[in-house]
Structure 1
Amino acid sequence: MLRKRTVVFLVVAAMLCGGLLTMMFTQLPNLAGSSASGEGLLASIAKNGLEQEEAKKIGTALDLIESNYYKDIDRDKLVDGAINGMMESLGDPYSNYMGKVPAAQFEESIEGSFSGIGAEVSSVDGNVVVVSPIKGSPADKAGIRAKDAILSVNGESLQGLDLNAAVAKIKGPKGSKAVIKVKRAGTSEPIEFVIIRDNVNLETVSARMESNKVGIIEISQFSLNTGDRFKEELKKLEAQGMEGLVIDVRNNPGGVLAVVIDIAEQFVPKGKLIVQVEDKDKKREKHPSNGESKPYPVTVLMNKGSASASEILAGALQQSAGAVLIGENTFGKGTVQTSFEKQFGDGSLLKVTIAKWLTPNGSWIHEKGIKPDLKVDQPDYFLVAPIDKKKTLKYDMNGSDVMNAQIMLEAVGYKPGRKDGYFDRATEKAVKSFQSSQKLKADGVVNTATAEALEAALIKKIQDPKNDNQLNRGITEIREEIATKASKK
């Protein structure tokens, strides 16, 4: 049997196991083979699936290229390209091939610390699209959001590249700079982010107790050790007399199927469904809970960066455990992948979508996501784009950068009087007041230093839990349920 592992591209120095769902799957026949000629190689492959005419056609193409192309060719690169072509023809952003080097990086242990910007990406219609930034990563702190399309890195376009090649350009060593341009829905111009790559913290579970005995557990992804860590933190909170729990899976890109089932069983009564997995023949494997319900209320926080295993947990707890879902509509990834890492015999790897998963009531949320029971938006400044540092903003200018500066000024306590993108005298006055507070030249002009100081002040504001609308609503919901329960005694 294949090892249970997650199957995503994290934009880090090693492509980690961490993100989209995988599951146990039986081994296929070994596809490894070697030969000095194209015909020999393809004859070997033909024994494991290619018809004679198919093998002949591919072999002929390989021989024609090798014999006639005006430059020397790399046969391994050609073969890898052929397999990449097959995977791309599926039109599935979650099925792809990794050659020896990216596969070796992919196989790195999830127990270590890795360097990069910290975001999971997929290929959608030829675009590199962010599934979710890892919480607390450089990408998250810079303001990268789920569904941002990454256009270029350090001036190099990602258009037309396969996902492996795109990830190779995005990743890099700690301390190196990544200038990333993204296209975001609702914005007319690309947004530029300057991100300093750093070590990505792979601690997946954190917990704390709020006042009135409300526990908070954050899950950043469902890795191999996440289930055990979740149980440890849950046990600690319960030992402290917890009366209600908020589970936060915002910007959690997913993880291992068995792990999310294990966590869901802590809340779903025995016999009730957690998830259903349906194969290509429409056969469904149902996963009922072997656990039991909790005596306290539970809410789940989610947003558009909550994908895959996060959506399984949300659906299971909502439909089978009575939990209240709070926040935004989720990402919408309803498929299951497994990785085949031994069959080629040369260190390369194939990741294939093998099934789709359904919520307990049979809903397929793919490309639709899960709707919250209570829709709660964050303040507008949570989603504001960074200011273009190449521009200097001043009186009588107009544009999206001015609007973003106005939103930031309003958020940190300086009143520009408007947030429509026109730099009027009131905006100038607000800029001067902010500059004075930061001991900058108070000229009312937003230059690089002022923009950076404004963004730093905004990040501090965002990181303050009291400004987190979704978290606060989750805590309030729990307190109301606790009060209602107490009143019935």
Structure 2
Amino acid sequence: MMKKSTVVWLMVAALIGGSLLTFAFTGATSLAKQTAGEGILASISNNVDKQSDLDKIQKALDLIQNNYYQEVDRTKLVDGAINGMMEALGDPYSNYMGKTTAAQFEEQIEGSFTGIGAEVSSENGKVTIVSPIKNSPAEKAGLRAKDIILTVNGTSLAGMELNDAVNKIRGPKGSKAVLQIQRAGSTDPLEYTIVRDDIDLETVHSEMKPNGIGVITITQFSLNTGQRFKEELAKLEAQKMKGLVIDVRNNPGGVLSVVIDIAQQFVPKGKVIVQVEDKNKQREKEQSQGGGKSYPIALLMNKGSASASEILAGALQQSAGATLIGENSFGKGTVQTSYDKQMGDGSLLKITIAKWLTPDGSWIHKKGIKPDIAVDQPAYFTVAPLAKDKTLKYDMNSSDVKNAQVMLTGLGYKPGRQDGYFDRATEQAVKAFQTKQKLTVSGTIDAKTASALEAKLVESIRDPRNDTQLNKGLEFVGKEIAASASK
């Protein structure tokens, strides 16, 4: 099976799958449509051009190796040349991996890896988070889709090749990655200290909620996700499930054949799941062989729902009558193929070969899919961590004070404002929190109080009762069940 993926680097496989490889070649001009002379002349011309290009590259290598004033590692030169070609494409999802990085990539596809738990890409030379993986250290720390990683443990990633940047971010379980983050809407860089860990290999989780509503969470579309989804769905249906909520929030993608397999269980036979268009504008439609479901379905998504998650969202919305709830999705509408055997030395080349479209032919690249019901999480779900090297106190005005006020509000302490000015009401809210947590009651936020605030906030975020999007999904499906029963 050929693999197709986004720039999954830290923790997860993205859009991959063997069935689409032929789509890259379906629209190629047939030699039968050319005269014999045209075909021969074109072939000769192409061969001459190719040889000329290869000669130019070879000459450059030789000139550097023979004349550079220091010893040159030829392997580094070759890798650099290939990286340069991939960067010239201007496509963050097409790239080259050396032997070591390629081996790590294979581990990620199999679902066995450690790290911070976020998929990244290189966009305009900046290492950008596509999505933090659900329940990963990155998500728990508060990283978001579209965040730009500026530094790792004090090392700037500016101008660094993606492979090298990834190696800076990766690390053994238990080690710390101190990330400086640039986030839209924040004037100052944010700092996150994340402890690397094993990433949950289980990609499917299910639960039966009251009123016969099942919830299935898919954290990524790995090689075994399709089978696990079938098992969990069958388990819920055996419990007389009346409606289903599918959660793909912060799911950055996965195996294409797997998402198609999952979608087929809900999309009626003959209806389109996804379309793929090659460079010659030729389209192939993947049609369902399934039978559909009679119960109502809602799908939860957010800004971190990318690639294969968006394929599932589009298929269920447009071909299965499901309702999308949450936020606009990430917006990755391309298909990649990985070439490893062709490289012959353990390295890997990943190239975008096509774009995918929703059943109605829409290309969601860089736009995402809009939810049918827009629901944001509470502000404190995505608040930045507080700086621990300074104490926040009365009459200060800063982004840290603003973040502390958002935290206090989320925890029910009512500072009365969230504009960044530390007034007396904020001071009283801090004192109330300190009293409750048995901390020194000073009314100022030192490192100890800041850490306690963040710890309580994590507890609140993990409490499903505070999950606005999930609750809306359950409410919607519940109403659909009731409406169906009354008919």
Smaller-chain TM-score bracket: over 0.9
The separation in 1 between residues aligned to 2:364 and 2:286, in whole angstroms, is 17
C-alpha contact 1:221 1:254 (8 A) present in aligned 2: yes
TM-score by length of 2: 0.93
Deviation at 1:408, TM superposition (A): 0.4
Q: Does 1:20 align with 2:15?
A: yes
The separation in 1 between residues aligned to 2:409 and 2:371, in whole angstroms, is 29
The separation in 1 between residues aligned to 2:47 and 2:425, in whole angstroms, is 72
The amino acid of 2:14's aligned partner reads: G
What is aligned with 1:472? 471
The separation in 2 between residues aligned to 1:426 and 1:455, in whole angstroms, is 20
Q: CA RMSD in A?
A: 1.8
Tell me the secondary structure at the aligned position of residue 114 of structure 2: strand
What is aligned with 2:295? 296
Deviation at 1:164, TM superposition (A): 0.4
Q: 1:300 to 1:239 in 2, by over 3 A?
A: same
The percent of aligned pairs where both chains have the same amino acid is 68
The amino acid of 1:139's aligned partner reads: A
The separation in 1 between residues aligned to 2:271 and 2:410, in whole angstroms, is 45
The separation in 1 between residues aligned to 2:157 and 2:4, in whole angstroms, is 28
What is aligned with 2:115? 116
Question: In the TM superposition, what whole-angstrom CA distance separates every residue of 1:245-299 from its partner, at most 9, and x where no partner exists?
Answer: 0000000001111111100001000000000011111111111100011110000
C-alpha contact 1:274 1:287 (8 A) present in aligned 2: yes
Deviation at 1:22, TM superposition (A): 4.1
Question: In the TM superposition, what whole-angstrom CA distance separates every residue of 1:119-178 from its partner, at most 9, and x where no partner exists?
Answer: 000000000000000111110100000110110001100010111010000010111111
User: Equivalent residues in 2 for 1:346-425 (5 A)?
Assistant: 346-425=345-424
User: Equivalent residues in 2 for 1:259-278 (5 A)?
Assistant: 259-278=258-277
Q: 1:48 to 1:345 in 2, by over 3 A?
A: farther
What is aligned with 1:35? none
The amino acid of 1:279's aligned partner reads: D
C-alpha contact 1:88 1:96 (8 A) present in aligned 2: yes
Q: Identify which range, 267-276 or 108-117, moves more after superposition.
A: 108-117
The separation in 1 between residues aligned to 2:296 and 2:375, in whole angstroms, is 19
Q: Does 1:91 align with 2:86?
A: no
What is aligned with 1:38? none
Tell me the secondary structure at the aligned position of residue 172 of structure 1: coil
C-alpha contact 1:245 1:299 (8 A) present in aligned 2: yes
Deviation at 1:50, TM superposition (A): 6.3
C-alpha contact 1:9 1:167 (8 A) present in aligned 2: no
Deviation at 1:52, TM superposition (A): 2.3
User: Equivalent residues in 2 for 1:322-361 (5 A)?
Assistant: 322-361=321-360
Q: 1:27 to 1:173 in 2, by over 3 A?
A: farther
User: Equivalent residues in 2 for 1:139-150 (5 A)?
Assistant: 139-150=138-149
Question: In the TM superposition, what whole-angstrom CA distance separates every residue of 1:437-476 from its partner, at most 9, and x where no partner exists?
Answer: 2121111111111101000000111111111111011111
Tell me the secondary structure at the aligned position of residue 54 of structure 1: helix
Question: In the TM superposition, what whole-angstrom CA distance separates every residue of 1:405-438 from its partner, at most 9, and x where no partner exists?
Answer: 0110111121211111000111111111111221
The amino acid of 2:15's aligned partner reads: L
What is aligned with 2:59? 60
Deviation at 1:23, TM superposition (A): 3.6
User: Equivalent residues in 2 for 1:232-311 (5 A)?
Assistant: 232-311=231-310
C-alpha contact 1:319 1:361 (8 A) present in aligned 2: yes
The separation in 2 between residues aligned to 1:310 and 1:21, in whole angstroms, is 12
C-alpha contact 1:6 1:223 (8 A) present in aligned 2: no
Deviation at 1:84, TM superposition (A): 0.4
C-alpha contact 1:251 1:306 (8 A) present in aligned 2: yes
The separation in 1 between residues aligned to 2:72 and 2:235, in whole angstroms, is 60
The amino acid of 1:343's aligned partner reads: Q
Structure with a larger share of its residues in helix? 2
Q: What is the total number of aligned residue pairs between the two structures?
A: 466
Question: In the TM superposition, what whole-angstrom CA distance separates every residue of 1:95-115 from its partner, at most 9, and x where no partner exists?
Answer: 000011111221226455422
Q: 1:313 to 1:49 in 2, by over 3 A?
A: farther
Deviation at 1:69, TM superposition (A): 1.4
What is aligned with 1:102? 101
Q: 1:56 to 1:382 in 2, by over 3 A?
A: same
TM-score by length of 1: 0.93
C-alpha contact 2:181 2:191 (8 A) present in aligned 1: yes
The amino acid of 1:19's aligned partner reads: A
Deviation at 1:304, TM superposition (A): 0.5
Q: 1:97 to 1:300 in 2, by over 3 A?
A: same
Which 4+ residue blocks in structure 1 deviate beyond 6 angstroms? 47-50
The separation in 1 between residues aligned to 2:398 and 2:177, in whole angstroms, is 25
Structure 2: segments with no counterpart, 5+ residues = 25-45
C-alpha contact 2:315 2:359 (8 A) present in aligned 1: yes
The amino acid of 1:365's aligned partner reads: I
What is aligned with 1:315? 314
Deviation at 1:59, TM superposition (A): 1.3
Structure 1: segments with no counterpart, 5+ residues = 29-46
Tell me the secondary structure at the aligned position of residue 107 of structure 1: helix
Q: 1:112 to 1:377 in 2, by over 3 A?
A: closer
Question: In the TM superposition, what whole-angstrom CA distance separates every residue of 1:217-244 from its partner, at most 9, and x where no partner exists?
Answer: 0000111111000000000000000000
The amino acid of 2:396's aligned partner reads: M
The separation in 1 between residues aligned to 2:327 and 2:422, in whole angstroms, is 32
C-alpha contact 1:110 1:202 (8 A) present in aligned 2: no
Deviation at 1:21, TM superposition (A): 3.8
The separation in 1 between residues aligned to 2:390 and 2:405, in whole angstroms, is 15
Q: 1:113 to 1:103 in 2, by over 3 A?
A: closer
The separation in 2 between residues aligned to 1:96 and 1:116, in whole angstroms, is 21
Q: 1:131 to 1:80 in 2, by over 3 A?
A: same
C-alpha contact 2:204 2:218 (8 A) present in aligned 1: yes
The separation in 2 between residues aligned to 1:300 and 1:248, in whole angstroms, is 6
